[in-house]
Amino acid sequence: MSQTLQLLHADAFLPTEAEVQRLSLANDADPRDADLSGITVIELNFPKFSDGRAFSQAFLLRRRLGFTGQIRASGDVLIDQLVQMQRSGFTQAVLRADQNLAHGQALLAHYPTFYQGDAVHTAPHFATA
């Protein structure tokens, strides 16, 4: 079973972590250059829904850098992107104001498992049985 992606709505979202524990990375920044000391939340921005560089950043943070804290998607986040966000290592998604949280939850529930491994569960489904 994949890790659950927490959905938040842009209109009601306020970060709960201290600002010194949060790192916001521009989508053209290399996460390998960031100092992650004391960081518990990394916020990755989607300036446009069609710009997927934050997916690569999340994957790098999880798989290569071993980051275990929260990875939050912000910006132009649509429910269409949620499954890939979850599989890339995101733990939170702040949905754009016009997006429906219930529809996003239903979409995530529709795909409970995947044949291939991903950023969080690297083994393929057939190897975990």
User: Rounded mean pLDDT of 48-77?
Assistant: 95
pLDDT score of 1: 37
pTM of the complete model: 0.85
Average pLDDT over residues 46-52: 93
pLDDT higher than 70, residue 115: no
Total residues found in the chain within this entry = 129
Q: Which helix (H) or strand (E) holds 127?
A: helix 125-128
Largest CA distance in the chain: 41
